[in-house]
Structure 1
Amino acid sequence: MTHASSSLEASTPLANWRAAAGGDFGLIVVPGAIWGASFLFIAEGLHATGPHGVAFFRILAGFLTLLAFPAARVTIAREAWPRIALLGVMWMAIPLTLFPYAEQRISSAMAGMLNGAVPLFATLVAAVIARRMPSRTILTGLAVGMTGVVLVALPNLQSGGASMEGVLLVLAAITLYGISINIARPLQMQYGALPVLARALGLATVLTAPLGIPEVIDGHWTLTPLLSLLTLGVFGTGIAYVIGTVAAGRLGAARASASIFITAPVALLLGVVVLHEQVAPLSIVGAITCIVGAMIIRRPDAAR
């Protein structure tokens, strides 16, 4: 093969995907798949305990998982603590409590599909932090993605009542995600993911304990909910958060949130296949539209 043909092959989209698959691509796929399954584990955990019990259990399990790594216990400068405290509140304690409340009102598949809007909110927050008007490409992606969010939620909004409350709870949670991932990125770049997240999870454990411990103690535990919440805590709250924070530092907050490309389809598949949930076709169309909007945002010209 000539040098010219080698250069041409190296510039193809397939070659770019292969290069990403060997490194950064894994930072997107792995947490996306884990978080997609998290909605199933939340639904199973709610069979044993209440929303506060689910949140406390998973946060505590994630915290203990990270403490097992020596790198999580390194010293962090005092001036970083206010931002770490914000992560403990806005990335862990509040949204991880909102999701179980939401899944008492809407299906796990619906919650997972709405989660596809995280890149949109992360991009909006990044633009506000940068104090710069987004490019035309990003604005187009945001418009397409937000249209998808409306389509996903529309069947539930039309039914009103508890379903509407569930949708609003998820939207509140992912708004906090969009803010938090932009806070996490500079902290990860300066101190590393493990020490930052271990401290944030430790604070979130304390915050969720007063309401969470009584629900855990009074829970009706069987093997399936117990294993579901252990898996949710160790992988969904521990390992996946670390990988996602590393991705935010390496790729940027908006690009790292592209793991939602994986999360939404996995949540939909598991909800329908395992839990036999019914999902409106319009919501599926909306989820696809939302992902298309996020893909537009991640185009090279938008990134520049």
Structure 2
Amino acid sequence: MAIASGTTSSAVSAESAYAWLTPVELLALGAIWGASFMFMRIAAPDFGALALVEVRLVLGGLILAPFLWRERRHFSRNLWWKIAGIGAINSAIPFVLFAWAAQRAPAGIGAISNATAAMFTAVIAFAFFGERINSRRAIGLVAGFAGVVVLASGKTSGESVWPAALAGTFAAFLYGVGGNLLRKHLSGIPAGANASATLLCASLLLAPLAITHWPDHAISARSWFSAGMLGVVCTGIAYMLFYRLIYRIGAPRASTVTYLIPLFGVAWAWLLLDEPVTASMALACTLILGGVALSQQRTAKS
């Protein structure tokens, strides 16, 4: 018992020692992932969606490759088929949808629609994996999806943004599917290796399309810089930071970064790209984030 008490005291002391670091890393991660929509907005018109996402996947997967190499014993031949499928659902297709949306609407549209991923995860877990949804969470889901309707009905500079909003929302839906598949089929694999494997498999699946759609014009240095930041920082380094948080404070607390991404996404686009923040975007963001907050809550029996 004395040993157990000492271990518990050490764990509490360690958590207390890092108490200041956790909010700093959450803010940093929210800022990084929020910036990804700005970088897509800059680079997508030059690269095109397919080529840009291929660069992102390759760079992100390579940054995380040391984790994959260290845990290579976990990966059997049969497992790679599941990894490839999940890589397509959880990375390749949603990344392409967000990049496609970035060519057609302000970066804030993609950042706000991305926040619905947490709600789709809850809906899919309820529909296919037996997770309960109480009345409070149900109200949150309704509010969040109402926010999607508001977002899709908005306009910027007189142009409708509904195609981009729906593309981003469908990408978030795929994140919800992918998150549940990861939990069901790949939960025993260390997260860093898991992420590298899915990103690299996704890059291989997308490579033929990316090569055939590679731009035949010179790509500006600004777009190359944005693509590099998107792959290295917003994918590779961001995943490493996210896993540090998961291991230290647990997945539920780490997932609160969901609330920061749209706020930073809109702020970066407003500050650095001079994109407007419309009333419909503000209302949609409020509804979606409020819905996410409610849909993430659980009862003691859930």
Q: Counterpart of 1:191 in 2: which secondary structure? A: coil
Q: Corresponding residue for 2:113?
A: 114
CA distance in 1, matches of 2:270, 2:255: 24
CA distance in 2, matches of 1:243, 1:82: 27
Letter in 1 for 2:147: G
Residue 135 (structure 1) aligned with residue 140 (structure 2): no
What does 1:190-209 align with in structure 2 at a 5 Å threshold? Answer: 190-209=188-207
Q: Counterpart of 1:46 in 2: which secondary structure? A: helix
TM-score by length of 1: 0.81
Distance 1:266 1:165, change over 3 A: same
Letter in 2 for 1:207: L
Any idea what the Cα deviations from partners look like across 1:225-256, whole Å, max 9, x if unmatched?
1111111101222232355467678745x765
Letter in 2 for 1:98: L
Q: Any conservation in 2 of the 1:137–1:302 contact (CA below 8 Å)?
A: no
Residue 146 (structure 1) aligned with residue 145 (structure 2): yes
Distance 1:228 1:132, change over 3 A: closer
Residue range with higher mean Cα deviation, 59-68 or 262-271:
59-68
What does 1:135-284 align with in structure 2 at a 5 Å threshold? Answer: 135-156=134-155, 163-186=161-184, 189-216=187-214, 218-244=216-242, 251-252=250-251, 257-284=255-282
Q: Corresponding residue for 1:97?
A: 96
CA distance in 1, matches of 2:140, 2:296: 9
Residue 42 (structure 1) aligned with residue 40 (structure 2): yes
Distance 1:150 1:19, change over 3 A: farther
Any idea what the Cα deviations from partners look like across 1:176-210, whole Å, max 9, x if unmatched?
01111122235564110122122211211111111
What does 1:75-94 align with in structure 2 at a 5 Å threshold? Answer: 75-94=74-93
Q: Counterpart of 2:46 in 1: which secondary structure? A: coil
Give the paired residue count: 285
Distance 1:29 1:126, change over 3 A: farther
CA distance in 2, matches of 1:84, 1:255: 26
Letter in 1 for 2:38: L
Residue range with higher mean Cα deviation, 189-198 or 33-42:
189-198
Q: Any conservation in 2 of the 1:247–1:256 contact (CA below 8 Å)?
A: yes
Give the Å deviation of 1:77: 3.3
Q: Any conservation in 2 of the 1:122–1:257 contact (CA below 8 Å)?
A: no
TM-score by length of 2: 0.82
Identity %: 26
Letter in 1 for 2:51: G
Q: Corresponding residue for 1:126?
A: 125
Distance 1:177 1:242, change over 3 A: farther
Give the Å deviation of 1:114: 1.4
Give the Å deviation of 1:118: 1.4
Q: Counterpart of 1:226 in 2: which secondary structure? A: helix
CA distance in 1, matches of 2:205, 2:217: 20
CA distance in 1, matches of 2:16, 2:150: 33
